[in-house]
Amino acid sequence: DAGITQSPRHKVTETGTPVTLRCHQTENHRYMYWYRQDPGHGLRLIHYSYGVKDTDKGEVSDGYSVSRSKTEDFLLTLESATSSQTSVYFCAISDLGVGTQYFGPGTRLLVL
């Protein structure tokens, strides 16, 4: 299995509070991705990174920001959480932009 972890694995927070999710990899892969998964929807890309300090928006980026200061860490921040951001968040890594993606275990976020 690819060395990819997410923290926290579960989080309950209140509307309006900031939340940061962390994705950590030990594979030295260039590309890192944040997805959300909701019932009735496929995986939806939030943001991705193609290198240290290089990031770009996905299809559902509103309300989210990301940072990548080291190859191994990709942070997803909800500046002011809303109930619509209740979801399961997956991080993925890839050594090639179009190659196989390896997924982390997911983070379940509940915004009350």
Binding residues (CB under 8 A) for other proteins: these are 40-45, 88, 90, 92, 97-103, 105-106
Q: How far is the CB of 68 from other proteins (least distance, A)?
A: 19
Q: How far is the CB of 91 from other proteins (least distance, A)?
A: 10
Q: How far is the CB of 97 from other proteins (least distance, A)?
A: 5
If the CB atoms of residues 50 and 67 are measured against other proteins, the closer one turns out to be 50
48-74 CB burial, b ≥16 within 10 A, e <16: bbeeeeebeebebbeebebebeeebeb
CA atoms of 24 and 28, how far apart (whole Å): 10
Q: How far is the CB of 80 from other proteins (least distance, A)?
A: 26
If the CB atoms of residues 41 and 70 are measured against other proteins, the closer one turns out to be 41
If the CB atoms of residues 28 and 100 are measured against other proteins, the closer one turns out to be 100
